Amino acid sequence: MIKIIVVDDSAFMRKVLSDLFAAEMDFTVVDVARNGQEAIDKVKLLKPDVVTLDVEMPVLDGISALEVIMREVPTPVVMVSSLTKDGADATIRALENGAVDFVAKSAGPISNIDNIRTEIVAKCRAAARANVNKLQKFQAVRPPASEYKLSPSFSVAVKEQIVAIGTSTGGPRALQELVTRLPGNLPCGVVIVQHMPPGFTKSLANRLDSLCALSVKEAEHNDVVKPGSVLIAPGDYHMTVERDGTRTVVKLNQGPPIGSHRPSVNPLMESVAKIYGSLATGVILTGMGSDGARGMQEIKQSGGYTIAEDQSTTVVFGMPKSAIELGIIDKVVPLPAIASEIVRHLQTKHGGV
């Protein structure tokens, strides 16, 4: 049984969420809390397997409560966030501070709980199995920008390369760890799919842009893939790359979700393999499920280079594991070393040191 504490200042939401989990055979609601301070006290006392934590609460808000929980009694936490811009920004901070994942609810007294029922149950099940030690370990990491220097002998041909990254659960923190370690003069573009709903990817891109030497933005239709830039697929849109004359641009579409995901990693990776072939580098990071494995296989089969995050640093090993089990990964690397492996590969492939 998965022991869960539900934390929300709304009595309605506490009741709805408690009933939702009580209806599941593998969950037991051990208690509820009305604010962040109650949450801290009850987590310390009852030692649950997972906590759902509202972002906006009186007495002590969810972000402040999360920081104390992760510092004093590390426990998997799933945030329950509003769909507002402030809610999205707060959610990104929560993911940086150790939350495993989040679900978004509509504003107002009556939540869209029926629409998120399947999502919140699945995410809380995954959170209960998450490697909480990895969330705690990366909490204070702020890697210096441009840690890895590029060789002056880099070929102009590197500009024809691309780095494609896919991730899900635990991804925002993993991306912070990886992207902030890439040099600002990286001579090729980076494209990313992070499983997130609309609005949250923009907050993620803005946060990464404030921390990175590279330029990071939420992708727009026909944005150009260019050196030193990172484009993140917007929530609710699949993203692919296409040639436009001498340029490569991203294309966005709202085709059907793939494996319940939109954006999905596979369409991006498959288009990268088709356009770039042996000049593509694919990277698969922490996340539950298997999205991205097929796309990484396409990159490998087209002659590209493939990197998977090592289990020792993942929050959830599902996505990297699925790709590794296909036998198509060139290098399995702990998260803090992935940026240097990307740069090493670019330098080696094009005659650098």
Helix axes 318-325, 293-301, angle to 10 degrees: 40
Dist. CA 15–CA 26, nearest whole Å: 18
Count H helices and E strands in the chain, helices first.
12, 14
CATH superfamily of domain region 2-135 = Response regulator (3.40.50.2300)
Please give the average per-residue pLDDT across 45-63, as a whole number.
Answer: 94
Same topology, domains 2-135 and 156-349? Answer is: yes
Dist. CA 8–CA 5, nearest whole Å: 10
Dist. CA 68–CA 224, nearest whole Å: 42
Residue-wise pLDDT tens digits, 293-318: 999 999 999 999 999 999 999 999 99
Please give the average per-residue pLDDT across 154-183, as a whole number.
Answer: 85
Please give the average per-residue pLDDT across 167-195, as a whole number.
Answer: 94
Please give the average per-residue pLDDT across 4-15, as a whole number.
Answer: 94
Give the residue numbers marked as catalytic.
Answer: 168, 195, 291
Query: Beta 238-244 vs 247-253: how paired, if at all?
Result: antiparallel
| pLDDT at residue 108 in the model | 52
Dist. CA 156–CA 100, nearest whole Å: 40
SS3 111: coil
- Residue spans of beta strands (DSSP E) within the chain: 2-7, 27-33, 50-54, 77-82, 101-105, 162-167, 189-194, 215-218, 229-232, 238-244, 247-253, 280-284, 305-309, 331-333
Residue-wise pLDDT tens digits, 231-254: 999 999 999 999 999 999 999 999
| pLDDT at residue 141 in the model | 45
Boundaries of every domain in the chain: 2-135, 156-349
Q: Which of 138-152, 162-176, 215-229 has the lowest mean pLDDT?
A: 138-152
Q: Output the six-digit token pair for 266.
A: 């596979």
The CATH class given to the 156-349 domain equals alpha beta
Q: Output the six-digit token pair for 274.
A: 């088709």
Q: Which of 31-35, 50-54, 92-96 has the lowest mean pLDDT?
A: 92-96
